[in-house]
């Protein structure tokens, strides 16, 4: 089958048509004023080669056929060919980085190709990451390397299939060029393979798009951007007005809370939750130095830049999201006569997150919310974390093994032997002291009693738990294995993992090796434990 998908793309570029553009047409590094974007063309590369493709994302864009049949997809999504109807541009935005205002940031290595309207009237922005410099690149080269691009491509799709709100990834293209990167900022730069990911989302608008306009006092442009965002991305709220602005901010707070609840459910750590990396749609965006929690540790961060302060550690993510929303609220103050609607949104985040997080933790245990059990259930879900934390426990494996633990026919007394069902979840069995075993058994007693209270059979509980606790996540070491092979010109593991991660809750018996605990060789290896923002 040939590839005819490119001819199907129906571009309808509302962002560039309706919002003010940078008046300077040159692609020079500068401060961009009174504009939401700068038009800029992708940099042509030496030898673009398509190496990975998401058929589900292609279907969203009404694309069909075999993209590997010709090199057309590589040419377009490598940045060498601009199709009729595309209107490439880079966004202007600012942001708080690690809690400090950083001023103008912008799309320094991302170039939006345009908005595609599919046959279902869904709008999708196509964006190339690593397609060359823009006016917002500052001192950087605007490029990306293979290792980070593999991680972005796979994680975007893995998160979607896990049910986590996320941007998507259509393609992964090798540029045929080398890119110099100092991976650990230690003065040892290396030449690495260059690559480009085509990211797809209804919108890539961030908190920082609004912040930069407010910080500069460009309030007319701010209102234009807000009104455009509501009309295109939140049309169900009605025409822009003071009341609509309030409803809009509340919805942002709610969808952001939903996203964080999902992160906590699957053990995902974003690693760099700056306000310029927060989607206005409540989508996970910008897969850089992220990581998957393997041994449960609420203080863990995968980002080397954050190693000392641990601002973006796993357990802190809900509070950081709230802080970021407060910064967005400050940027929107000029739209309101009082701050009360903004405070209402912030309060909604806290209330909604706490309610949804409590329900999520119960679902992970196969339980339902029973109002009469609120206090006891909160203690139960809090205390399971105390069972995992004192010893090195693989969170993903722990919940799957707990789902399989027989509780139906147990006697009133549970003994140490029942912990055998959890053995695979422990990295260091020697840590299972007598005191720990007593704590774990005590918690299992309470859990068994709560299961009996709800009258759930072991079979039903297993089905419930396995629907929300994944068997397969993109473990850091597994992603690194795919990167290692790709560096040698073997892209088969990328494709194999993409297929595996399409079904993260299924058993997939022939893929058990990808559900295993992190091996010892990956404990301290670069790319498996800690990562930098370098890409």
What does the pLDDT read at residue 412? Answer: 67
φ, ψ at 12 (rounded to 5°): -145, 85
Contacts of 93 (CB under 8 A, 6+ apart): 104, 105, 106, 107, 206, 208, 209, 211, 212, 276
pLDDT over 70 at 203, yes or no: yes
Kindly report, residue by residue over 462-485, the tens digit of the pLDDT: 999 999 999 999 999 999 999 999
Three-state secondary structure string covering 114-165 = EEEECCCCCEEEEEEECECCCCCCCCCCCECEHHHHHHHHHHHHHHHHHCCC
Q: How confident is the model at residue 514 (pLDDT cuts 50, 70, 90)?
A: very high
Structure-block tokens of residue 456? 């759930």
pLDDT over 60 at 534, yes or no: no
Q: How confident is the model at residue 409 (pLDDT cuts 50, 70, 90)?
A: low
With contact defined as beta carbons under 8 Å apart, do 164 and 273 qualify?
no
The rounded distance, in Å, linking the Cα atoms of 198 and 169 is: 6
Average pLDDT of the residues of the chain: 94
* DSSP state letter for 22: P
What does the pLDDT read at residue 535? Answer: 46
Kindly report, residue by residue over 355-393, the tens digit of the pLDDT: 999 999 999 999 999 998 999 999 999 999 999 999 999
Q: How confident is the model at residue 104 (pLDDT cuts 50, 70, 90)?
A: very high
Whole-angstrom Cα Rg for the chain: 24
The rounded distance, in Å, linking the Cα atoms of 524 and 521 is: 7
pLDDT over 80 at 405, yes or no: yes
What does the pLDDT read at residue 211? Answer: 98
Kindly report, residue by residue over 256-310, the tens digit of the pLDDT: 999 999 999 999 999 999 999 999 999 999 999 999 999 999 999 999 999 999 9
DSSP annotation string for 68-116: TSSSHHHHHHTTS-PPTT---EEE--EEEETTEEEEE---SSEEEEEEE
Kindly report, residue by residue over 413-465, the tens digit of the pLDDT: 777 777 888 999 999 999 999 999 999 999 999 999 999 999 999 999 999 99
Q: What percent of the chain has pLDDT over 90?
A: 89
Q: How confident is the model at residue 408 (pLDDT cuts 50, 70, 90)?
A: confident
- Pick from 5-9, 66-70, 251-255: least confident: 5-9
Cα distances (Å, whole numbers) of residue 78 to 51, 169, 194, 197:
11, 14, 10, 8
pLDDT over 50 at 1, yes or no: no
Q: How confident is the model at residue 182 (pLDDT cuts 50, 70, 90)?
A: confident
What does the pLDDT read at residue 390? Answer: 93
Residues forming the active site: 276
Q: How confident is the model at residue 411 (pLDDT cuts 50, 70, 90)?
A: low
Structure-block tokens of residue 71? 């090199």
pLDDT over 70 at 186, yes or no: no
């Amino acid at each position: 089958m040939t590839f005819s998908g490119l001819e199907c793309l129906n571009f309808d570029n509302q962002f560039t048509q309706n919002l003010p553009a940078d008046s300077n047409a040159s692609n020079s590094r500068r401060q961009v004023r009174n504009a939401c974007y700068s038009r800029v063309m992708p940099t042509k590369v030496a030898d673009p080669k398509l190496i990975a493709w998401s058929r589900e994302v292609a279907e969203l864009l009404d694309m069909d056929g075999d993209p590997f049949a010709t090199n057309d997809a590589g040419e377009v999504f490598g940045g060498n060919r601009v199709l009729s109807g595309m209107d490439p541009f880079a966004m202007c935005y600012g942001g708080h980085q690690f809690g400090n205002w950083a001023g103008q940031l912008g799309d320094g290595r991302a170039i939006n190709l345009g908005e595609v309207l599919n046959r279902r009237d869904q709008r999708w922005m196509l964006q190339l990451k690593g397609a060359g410099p823009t006016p917002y690149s500052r001192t950087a080269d605007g490029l990306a390397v293979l290792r980070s691009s593999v991680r972005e491509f796979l994680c975007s799709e893995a998160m979607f299939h896990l049910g986590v709100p996320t941007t998507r990834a259509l393609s992964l293209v090798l540029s045929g060029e080398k890119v110099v990167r100092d991976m650990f900022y230690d003065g040892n730069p290396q030449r690495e393979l260059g690559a480009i990911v085509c990211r797809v989302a209804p919108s890539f608008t961030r908190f920082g798009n609004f912040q930069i306009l407010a910080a500069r006092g460009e309030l007319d442009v701010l209102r234009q951007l807000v009104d455009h965002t509501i009309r295109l991305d939140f049309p169900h709220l009605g025409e822009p007005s003071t009341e609509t602005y309030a409803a809009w901010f509340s919805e942002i707070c709610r969808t952001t809370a939903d996203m964080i609840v999902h992160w906590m459910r699957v053990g995902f750590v974003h690693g760099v939750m700056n306000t310029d990396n927060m989607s206005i749609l409540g989508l996970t965006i910008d897969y850089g130095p992220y990581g998957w929690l393997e041994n449960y540790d609420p203080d863990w961060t995968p980002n080397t830049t954050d190693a000392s302060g641990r601002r973006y550690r796993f357990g802190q993510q809900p509070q950081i999201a709230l802080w970021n929303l407060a910064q967005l609220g400050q940027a929107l103050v000029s739209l309101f006569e009082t701050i009360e609607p903004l405070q209402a949104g912030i309060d909604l985040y806290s209330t909604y997150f706490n309610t949804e997080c409590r329900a999520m933790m119960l679902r992970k245990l196969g339980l339902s919310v029973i109002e009469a059990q609120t206090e006891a259930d909160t203690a139960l879900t809090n205390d399971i974390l105390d069972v995992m934390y004192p010893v090195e426990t693989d969170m993903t494996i722990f919940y799957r093994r707990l789902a399989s633990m027989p509780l139906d026919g147990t006697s009133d007394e549970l003994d140490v032997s029942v912990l055998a069902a959890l053995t695979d979840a422990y990295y260091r069995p020697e840590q299972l002291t007598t005191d720990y075993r007593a704590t774990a058994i005590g918690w299992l007693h309470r859990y068994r009693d709560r299961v009996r209270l709800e009258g759930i059979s072991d079979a039903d509980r297993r089905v419930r738990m396995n629907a929300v606790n994944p068997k397969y996540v993109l473990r850091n070491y597994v992603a690194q294995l795919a990167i290692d092979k790709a560096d040698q010109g073997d892209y088969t593991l990328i494709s194999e993992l993409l297929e595996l991660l399409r079904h993260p809750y299924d058993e997939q018996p022939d893929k058990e090796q990808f559900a295993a605990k992190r091996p010892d060789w990956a404990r301290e290896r670069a790319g498996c434990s800690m990562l930098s923002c370098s890409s």
